[in-house]
Structures are given as C-alpha cells and as structure tokens.
Structure 1
Amino acid sequence: MDSLTDSTNHISSSINEMVEYRALEGHIHSVGFQLDECLIPFLELAGFGSAALIRTFNLRHDLISALVERWHPETHTFHLSCGECTITLEDVALQLGLPIDGNAVTGVSLISRPARLCYDLLGRSPSEGKFQTLKFSWLKANFEYLPSTATELEVMQAVQAYIMHLIGGVLMPDTHGSEVHLMCLLLLSNLHNTRSYSWGSAVLAILYRELCRTTDLSAVDIGGCLILFAVVGSLSDAILVIH
C-alpha cells in the first residue's frame, strides 16, 4: 500500500504475516416473502419501487474482503493497480433507484412509546413493553400474506412493513442481527413524504462507514448494502486487477 494508508491497523499492513486469509462475513437478510403486486404503486410512491425488486443473491466474501484491503479511509476510494475508483451516489441511484436528494435520513434513537408507534402505523405491535427494533421474523409472520379483502389502510401498513424489512435486511443491514430500528418507521409515517428523504445518501454513508471499519485487522464481519460492490467494475474483474 502507498503512503496514503500508514496505519498499522489497516489490514493491508498485516497480510504477509497472516497465517490464514481473513474473509469477512457479510450480513444480508433479504425480504423473505413474495411481494404482493398491490403494494407496488405505494412502494413507487415512497421511492422504494426499484429497490423492492431486489431478490436473493449470493455473496463472494473472499472478493469483498480483497476489495476492503484496497480501501483507503482517507479518500473513500479503492486503490487498484489500474487507478482509483469508488461507489458514488449516482451508482446508488442507478442500481437501487433510491432518492439521493432531499432531507437527511435521521431521527431519534430512543422511541419513548414503541408499542403505540407500531399500533398507529402497522396496526399491531410485537410487545407492550419497551423495545427499539422490529425483528424480520415478526414482520414476515404478520405481513407476508395480504388478504384479498384488505382495506387501503391495511395495504399501507403492509407497505411500511415491507420497506422496514427492505431497509434493515438489504439496504442498511448491520452486523448485530436480523432486525431494524424503529427510527426508520417514523420516517415512513406518511408515504407521500417518504421519498423527500435522501435514502440513497444514507445507504452509501453506512457502506462507507463499514468499509472504513473493516480495514481494521480485528474486524470479522461487514454490514451495509454489499450489492453495491458490483459497481467496482465487477468483483471478478477487480480481483484480477488486484492480484
């Protein structure tokens, strides 16, 4: 590695001394139930129509790990033999169809009345006590099947549940488990306003954060929207350049 990365904690500084190659574990929890067609217009209204078409896929952990070795936190770019490249907001917009302009995706980290929020927006709650996340298994169990007699309110609730699963499972997965924070549900309270948030910026920021974190030798897994790695040429072509 060149002088841009002089930290002894960067994975690249220890590759030659490693007994066993480090392959990061990726965390992807795809939406595990079929999308009902009646949800599509509302998903498009909210700005998640294209992202909702994402299906399950396999990750090459060794290839992702090899690219992390070439990631420079100082410049947020991959340094390859052929030059520098990175993942941009334009890539996010083209691949995922998410809005990249608008308000920042942010909110309160502690929901004071989580059960009330869930009842108001989803029509049901996983608990009457204190909780800050929704498990994907609960979302699937309660919203996988939409009855043919569903009202518009029930359809809207199913849309919000689907987007929550999509955010936590595919677009912004973390490394702590199969659940999504309730903060995101607050931003879905009015689907007409949901697309006013820059969801694409949030997705890219989390991926950048994870790339920077995993350059440390002690990291064992990586979160974020890993399908965006496809824009780095292609993973297979990039790895040929690296080696």
Structure 2
Amino acid sequence: MSDGFCGTHLQIMVRTRGLGRALGQVTGRVIPASDVQDDPVEAPAAVEDIPADILVDAGVEAAEDQPQGFPGGPSDPSVLTAYADHVACSVWTGELSSHGRKVHSLGRPVPAIEGLIAGTRLSPLIACSVDTGDQGLLSAFVERWHQETSSFHLPVGELTITLDDVSSLLHLPVIGDFHAFEPLHVDDAVQMLVDLLMVSPESARVETVQCRGPYVRLQWVRDIYQRRCQAGHWTAAARAYLLHLLGCTLFANKSATNVHVVYLEALRDLSMTERYAWGVAALVHMYDQLNDASMSHSRQLGGYITLL
C-alpha cells in the first residue's frame, strides 16, 4: 500500500469522524461509525445530501453536549473518566486540606513551656507549615507519584524525597533512637490521655468514641492545651502542644481533623524526646501516607504538602 493512498484514506476518515452521529440526529436512528467508514469515498456525498442548516444545528448541539472539563486538568473528561475522584482534582477545586492554618491558629508556645518544646528538637516544625501552595505544582507532583517505587516519575527521570531533604528542610534529627509505635487499644488510649494530658476518664472516653478509635480531634487537643496553660500544668501543656504539632506536620493523615493518641507515648518523658530520629519517622510516614493519598478514593492530602 503506497504512502499516498494511506494519507488520502486517513484524511477521509478524519473528515467523516462523527458523521454517524450527525446522520442519526437527522434520520432518527443510530448509524454506527463502522457503517459510515466502510465506504469512505461515498461518505462526503452523503454529507452533501443533508441541508447545511441541519448540519450546523447538529454541530451546535453536539458542542453543547461536550463537557467543559476541569480547571487545570483534562479538558475532555471522556477519556479520564475517573478524574473527578482523583486527588489532583481536589487540589484545583480548593478541597486540599492544609494543616498550616491549624499550627498558626495555635501560635507559638507560651513562654513557660518554650524551653520544654525546644528541648525536644521539634520546635522547627512550628515554622515549616504553609497555608497555601502552588496548585499547578502540587497537582503535577500528585499525578506523578507512584507507590510501586515511592517516587515521582517526571520527564527528566525519577525523583524522591530523601533523609537529607528532611534534615535540610525540617531541621529534624535523622540520627538517633527509634521509637516503636505499637498498636493502641481504645482503653489504652483513654488511660494515656488521663495520665499524660490530665483529662478525666469520662472526657477521654467521649472523645475516642466520637473519633471511633484511639484518636482525638486537633480542636480538642487545642482546648486541652489552653486549659492546662490556665491551670499552670506546664508539662501536660507541653505534651498537648507537641501532640497537636505532630498531628499537623510529621504525622498528618487524610482525615484532616484527627491525630492518633499513640504519639503521646513518645512524649511521656520529654527529656528523652530529643533522642529520637524524628526525621526518619517523618519520611517513613510520608511515604506510606502518600501512597494512600494518591489513590483516587482518597480526597485529601492532609499535611503532606509540608515536604512537597
């Protein structure tokens, strides 16, 4: 088959694309595209038999039927049919949850606990959160993250976040002891809240029931922090402040509202907290959560924009 014939045949097929739909609107029946393209030479003659005004009206109606697409995303969603459920769509529609506002709303620790907070080596997290980000940049990174390799697949190659990045951006220790966060039963979570945050068993129980597990709301932690400061219970206030800080930064999750109580265990003895390799824990947690957050069923990135 010559190149000239292939080119002519391709041009004719392009010109007749959508002809079956136009003819169907005129004749009142559906005409498969294969029936129109089986005889591409005769197709233009069929077009000439249809009044021009009918073809124009059909074209306008077809254009009106076409979806408008997504801002910053595909203009023709007929191919990417599940894009509405992609987390990148949430970035563009403003549904992205940033914990930076929660950190800023709590503010810096009161002077009485500044020394305790600084001694844990977690105080750099107070200034690392952002309220907003470049939507196009975030969307591009989200779409190119793949859990099989835990890396971003870009035109220039693969890119990932390393311990050196964590150390340079967050100024957290990447060398130190590891703390094993064991699975926590709700009863153990209640007891931990009573012992370390000085709340009543009834209050702790109600909160875990509302969160449906060993979790507490970030708003609830902020309230506890204010109460402990007012009562002068500075160690409990420091733990509440750090739990809120960890829940908004290192250990953010897609709930955008809750933090796991298990992290309080690492804050039991604040003099030991500085010995932990927080940077390593942050990187492992971020890889694990990004894998989940990049799936179409997850609508929130939570605080994972901290390192992005």
TM-score range, shorter-chain basis? Answer: 0.7 to 0.9
1:198 partner letter: A
Whether the aligned pair in 2 keeps the contact of 1:123 and 1:157 (CA below 8 Å) is yes
Give the whole-Å Cα distance in 1 for the aligned partners of 2:166 and 2:204. Answer: 37
- Residue 203 of structure 2 aligns to which amino acid in structure 1? S
Distance 1:199 1:105 in 2: 12
Residue aligning to 2:191: 116
Cα distance in structure 2, aligned partners of 1:109 and 1:115: 10
Identify which of 90, 96, 100 aligns with 1:26. 96
Residues 35-46 of structure 1 correspond to what in structure 2 (within 5 A)?
Answer: 35=108, 36-46=110-120
- Which position in structure 2 is the counterpart of 1:100? 174
Task: Give 2:307's aligned amino acid.
Answer: L
Q: Secondary structure at the match of 1:23?
A: helix
Contact 2:128–2:306 (CA under 8 A) maintained in structure 1 = no
Corresponding residue of 1:9: none
Distance, in Å, in 1 between the alignment partners of 2:261 and 2:246 is 11
Instruction: Tell me which amino acid in the other structure corresponds to 2:205.
Output: G
Aligned to 2:221: 139
Alignment of 1:27-66 (within 5 A): 27-29=97-99, 30-31=102-103, 32-35=105-108, 36-66=110-140
Q: For residues 154-213 of structure 1, give each alpha carbon's deviation from its aligned partner in whole angstroms, at most 9, with x where no partner exists.
A: 211111101111111222211124121111111110011112322222221222123323
Contact 2:254 2:293 survives alignment (8 Å): no
Q: 1:81 to 1:177 in 2, by over 3 A?
A: closer
Q: Does 1:81 align with 2:155?
A: yes
- Per the alignment, do residues 177 and 143 of structure 1 end up closer, same or farther by CA in structure 2, a change over 3 Å counting? same
Matches of 1:144 and 1:167, distance apart in 2: 17
Give the residue type in structure 2 aligned to 1:18. Answer: L
Higher alpha-carbon deviation: 182-191 or 96-105: 96-105
Distance in 1 between the 2:226 and 2:139 partners? Answer: 34
- Larger radius of gyration between Structure 1 and Structure 2: 2
The letter for the 1-side match of 2:80 is M
Q: Which runs of 5+ in 1 are unaligned?
A: 1-14, 230-243
Q: Residue 27 of structure 1 aligns to a residue in which SS?
A: coil
8 A Cα contact 1:139 1:161, kept in partner: yes
Secondary structure of the corresponding residue to residue 50 of structure 1? helix
Supply the AA of the counterpart residue of 2:290: L
CA contact (8 A) 1:93 1:99 kept: yes
Cα offset for 1:77?
Answer: 2.1
2: CA distance, partners of 1:16 / 1:200: 43
- Percent identity among equivalent residues? 27
Give the alignment's TM-score, normalised by structure 1: 0.74
Q: Which has the higher helix share?
A: 2
- Residue type at the aligned position of 1:209: D
Q: What's the counterpart of residue 5 of structure 1?
A: none
For residues 1-243 of structure 1, the aligned pairs below 5 Å read 17-18=79-80, 22-24=88-90, 25-29=95-99, 30-31=102-103, 32-35=105-108, 36-101=110-175, 102-125=177-200, 127=203, 129=205, 131=208, 132-144=214-226, 146-147=229-230, 150=232, 154-229=233-308
Structure possessing the higher relative contact order (Cα contacts under 8 Å, 6 or more residues apart) = 1
1: CA distance between counterparts of 2:293 and 2:307? 16
| Structure 2 unaligned residues grouped into runs of 5+ | 1-76, 209-213
Contact 1:26 1:61 in 2 (8 A): no
Amino acid at match of 1:34: G
How many pairs are equivalent? 213
Q: Quote the Cα distance in structure 2 between the aligned partners of 1:95 and 1:58.
A: 17
Task: Name the TM-score, length of structure 2 as normaliser.
Answer: 0.60
